Structure 1
Amino acid sequence: MNKEKRDAEMEEQGARMLEDEQQETQQEEQRADKKIAVIVARQGEALPSEFLMSLRLMEQPAGFTMELVEVEGRAGLAAAYGQAMEASTAKYKIYIDERVRILDSSLFARIVRLFEKRADLGLVGISGTKILSPDGIAFHSTRRIGSLRLAEEARTVSWGRVLGEAEDVLAVDGFLMATQVDLPWREDLFHGAAFFDAAQCLEFRRRGLRSAVLGQEEPLVEFLGESFPADEAGRRAFLAEYATEALPLVSILMPTHERPEFFKLALESALAQTYRHIEIIVSDNSEDDRTEELMKAYAADERIHYTHDPTLSALQNWRAALDRACGEYFAYLFDDDLYAPEKIERMADALSMEDGIAFVTSYRRAIDAEGNILDDPVVGPPPVAETSRIPGELAIYGLLDKQANFIGEYTTVLLPRRAKEIVREILQREPRTVLPDVECWLQLLEEGDLLYIVDPLSYFRKHEGQAGADPAVQIEGARAWARLLRERAERESGMRRKKMFEQADLIEMMLRARGR
């Protein structure tokens, strides 16, 4: 009996202890929910007195407590912030650079109110970017929003206006980063003072949580010092880990037909792109299996998607690659041409950072069968002295006035996804046009401007057996130019209309004189 009584008492005592522990845990969680930790990575022996003073002036949300968590930051901000995160039980954590001075005393209260309204919001900052530049450096993006007061220069840097109470972004800047959920900082990747901020936003995104920039009429903070240095090791680590999530996919389309030697060189130039998020769509309509055998060496590369169908015609082969493209942008690379390593990166940067651009092209060089540079009068010099945005209408008249494709072949350009339907319609048009690229450019330039890069970013190979070298094709090309001039002239008036009709008449007169 005594044993049974003792067992019952012990069981009751254990239940009370468990209940006390649960109550204490619940109380701790409640206290943590009403706690703000201000986390600072100190670079020197002590935090600047002006920084500490700005914190003392902050408005404390009703019912909340605040704590300052100070950590050594010389080993890297990701490691420092990770250490501080583990040391604090606060639900709300505000990671702030010691060179920042807060200008709005209600900033912390605003952040907490925003978090309380939005459970899907993981991270809030005072500036950030909606799209990342292809080099991975957030400050190079032209899609930035928010503002910052630069103390040493006595001026305000204002990027895009924040719409509403807060606006979602891909990444916020590391000047000030507030969270309501704890996620590990990637100290395994970053050991300096750059890229940790964008990486953390993408870690939140992987877990379904958004990042946002707080609304502001005036700058919310002042910054004393220089921006974060973008170390190359950190940049490479960032792109290796996050490029497929942070950068738009670019599809490189490679129709090929029985040119395995040239094709291999073209494929290697696609694989050598500095842009880190590409897919390579190879559509092979060869009647032999030489290219198929060659492709076995690339079977492990997940970027490459290869199909072989000898029943396809040349234009069907072009369309087959187009139909399989999934990218936000796409570019053709024909099997005898080459890309410069930075082609896609520079063109994707221009397309993603500029509004109103129909497509991007560049200067291209002609090469011979051995890859030697040719002085080709068809290519000629760049139409502009420096990289420029050319109004669409002006580019159209430039094409028609000279009857020369200064924009380049399909290999030369990078196109947005919305251009796929225009390209597809031109490629399946009957009767077939001998100027599919020019007709495509004319249609696209009705919708926007041309961005022309003066550096050579592609190489057009000239060799025996090309269709463009056939005199019959050249004659058909002249007829096509005359038709395009007449079609455009019908839409014009005045001297421009008169000149286009006269140019079309001249082309047709010359063809008649040659008995064509």
Structure 2
Amino acid sequence: MSSPTILFVLCVNDESMFQACFRQLASLPAPHGYHVEVLPIRHASSMASGYNEALTHPAQFKIYLHQDTLIVKQHMLLELIPLFLQNPSLGMLGVIGAESVPDNGIWWESHDCRGKVIEYRHDTYQLLTFESGHPQTEPQGYIKASAIDGLFMATQYDIKWREDLLDGFHFYDVSQSFEFAQQGYEVGIARQVEPWCIHKCGDHFDAEAYEKARQTFLANYR
């Protein structure tokens, strides 16, 4: 039998960006007894449908990652996997999100956003952080959340992504956060001493598609 797998899943429409991400993922050290695999999903009609293709893979630990996200915390997996193993109720973990989601469904407009990430936007790197306290002294390695952002979504259980509801590239992350909670699992945001990720945010934003997905989310979860 092969050793237990940590599977990175990425929807890909930019090969050069994916290759840069792939090289970086391949260099991450894994906990003893585990190995890392990368599953690119090409030509996905939506994030949810693309990610559902990964559910047949036997890996217990799956990390759904944007192709424009780079892991800069070299020993991230050495923190992530023990965190899951020590907390069987923790179903899904992100690096940024919110403890509660406002009535409009937009998690980043919450008054209790948490986590941190380095954003690369408009040719500039900037640390986006909502951390409070001293994460290295916290007894628990994560903050309970209602929603996490889709740039990094690590799971230790498989729950189907709602491609029947969300046929595009928005709100799949908040939807999946709610789906995990409905199944009785906790959703968390990692307490990071150093940020785990750089997110190379694009400058383009499809407001019409976002609003359509937001209305679908509200109709089904609110």
TM-score exceeds 0.5: yes
Cα displacement string for residues 157-213 of structure 1 (whole angstroms, at most 9, x for unaligned residues): 112437531111011110100001001000011122211011111111111100001
Query: Equivalences for 1:98-497 in 2 at 5 Å?
Result: 98-151=67-120, 152-161=123-132, 164=138, 165-226=141-202, 229=206, 231-243=210-222
Of all paired residues, the percent bearing the same amino acid is 26
- Hey, what's the Cα distance between the residues in 1 that align with 2:74 and 2:112? 28
Cα displacement string for residues 436-462 of structure 1 (whole angstroms, at most 9, x for unaligned residues): xxxxxxxxxxxxxxxxxxxxxxxxxxx
* 1:236 CA displacement: 0.9
Higher helix share: 1
From 50, 54, 58, the counterpart of 1:80: 50
* 1:52 CA displacement: 1.7
Give the counterpart letter for 1:137 in structure 2.
Answer: I
- Tell me, yes or no, if structure 1 residue 37 matches structure 2 residue 7: yes
CA pair 206-73 structure 1, distance change in 2 beyond 3 A: farther
Give the counterpart letter for 2:132 in structure 1.
Answer: R
Cα displacement string for residues 418-475 of structure 1 (whole angstroms, at most 9, x for unaligned residues): xxxxxxxxxxxxxxxxxxxxxxxxxxxxxxxxxxxxxxxxxxxxxxxxxxxxxxxxxx
**Paired residue for 1:65?**
35
Determine helix, strand or coil for the equivalent of 2:84: helix
* 1:48 CA displacement: 3.1
Cα displacement string for residues 295-315 of structure 1 (whole angstroms, at most 9, x for unaligned residues): xxxxxxxxxxxxxxxxxxxxx
Give the counterpart letter for 1:237 in structure 2.
Answer: T
- Hey, what's the Cα distance between the residues in 1 that align with 2:129 and 2:38? 29
- Hey, what's the Cα distance between the residues in 2 that align with 1:132 and 1:229? 21
Determine helix, strand or coil for the equivalent of 2:124: coil
- Tell me, yes or no, if structure 1 residue 94 matches structure 2 residue 73: no
* 1:45 CA displacement: 4.5
Cα displacement string for residues 28-87 of structure 1 (whole angstroms, at most 9, x for unaligned residues): xxx57x21111011023465332122112211111012211110254111110011222x
Q: Is the 8 A contact 2:12 2:18 kept in 1?
A: no
Give the counterpart letter for 1:223 in structure 2.
Answer: H
TM, length-normalised to structure 2: 0.89
- Hey, what's the Cα distance between the residues in 1 that align with 2:116 and 2:41? 27
Q: Is the 8 A contact 2:12 2:40 kept in 1?
A: yes
- Hey, what's the Cα distance between the residues in 2 that align with 1:229 and 1:112? 35
Q: Is the 8 A contact 1:194 1:229 kept in 2?
A: no
For structure 2, list consecutive stretches of 5 or more residues without a partner in the other structure: none
Deviates more, 1:149-158 or 1:197-206: 149-158
Determine helix, strand or coil for the equivalent of 2:177: helix
* 1:226 CA displacement: 2.9
- Hey, what's the Cα distance between the residues in 2 that align with 1:43 and 1:191? 16
- Hey, what's the Cα distance between the residues in 1 that align with 2:54 and 2:37? 12
- Hey, what's the Cα distance between the residues in 2 that align with 1:94 and 1:68? 9
- Hey, what's the Cα distance between the residues in 1 that align with 2:15 and 2:70? 19
Larger radius of gyration: 1
Cα displacement string for residues 324-362 of structure 1 (whole angstroms, at most 9, x for unaligned residues): xxxxxxxxxxxxxxxxxxxxxxxxxxxxxxxxxxxxxxx
Q: Is the 8 A contact 2:26 2:36 kept in 1?
A: no
For structure 1, list consecutive stretches of 5 or more residues without a partner in the other structure: 1-26, 244-516
- Hey, what's the Cα distance between the residues in 1 that align with 2:206 and 2:37? 29
From 32, 44, 48, the counterpart of 2:18: 48
Give the counterpart letter for 2:42 in structure 1.
Answer: E
Q: Is the 8 A contact 2:61 2:156 kept in 1?
A: yes
TM, length-normalised to structure 1: 0.39
Q: How many residues align?
A: 212
